A = this chain, B = another copy of it.
């Protein structure tokens, strides 16, 4: 699957959630998410623009690979492979035995909405603040970007944030 995504600094999550309700968006999930990002033993993911992420949610866990970002105008697209797993701790033990090292943990509260082909995540990220992510997961990216732009305008989102949460946290540390 290709993930096409725009992230904005939120003008206020309450305000956005009200707007989403007015637009007829459907709340599909509300959860606390802990993402462990891992460094590759022989490759600098910062340079190759890849990521290996272990996600722990109240409802299960997953291991995800994210490929390099391809810039498409204002949105970003990247390959994303998600594997549902039985146990996040066991997965972490395996990847650590293989030489992967934990570099950063990102914790957030996420409320997710569905609107047509769009998924809207209303995020409150520990140490970073509030963000809105607009996302389309698709095999055929045509017109996805226009759809994202349109939704961004409807929600009056203006403050585009091109960096990932991982980059924002690492930037903050240095």
Contact = CB atoms under 8 A, between A and B. Distances in A.
A65 B99 contact: no
Nearest to A83: B90
Q: How many copies does the complex hold?
A: 2
A53 to B, nearest CB: 11
A63 B98 contact: no
19 contacts: A40-B99, A41-B42, A41-B43, A42-B99, A43-B99, A52-B94, A64-B94, A65-B93, A65-B97, A67-B97, A81-B90, A81-B97, A83-B87, A83-B90, A83-B91, A83-B94, A84-B86, A84-B87, A85-B85
A9 B86 CA distance: 34
Q: Is the interface of A mostly helix, strand, loop or mixed?
A: mixed
A65 B94 contact: yes
- 7 A-B pairs with least C-beta separation: A42-B42, A84-B86, A65-B94, A83-B90, A65-B97, A81-B94, A81-B93
Nearest to A45: B98
Interface string A75-90: 0000001111111001
A109 B164 CA distance: 46
Interface in A25-56: 40-43, 50, 52
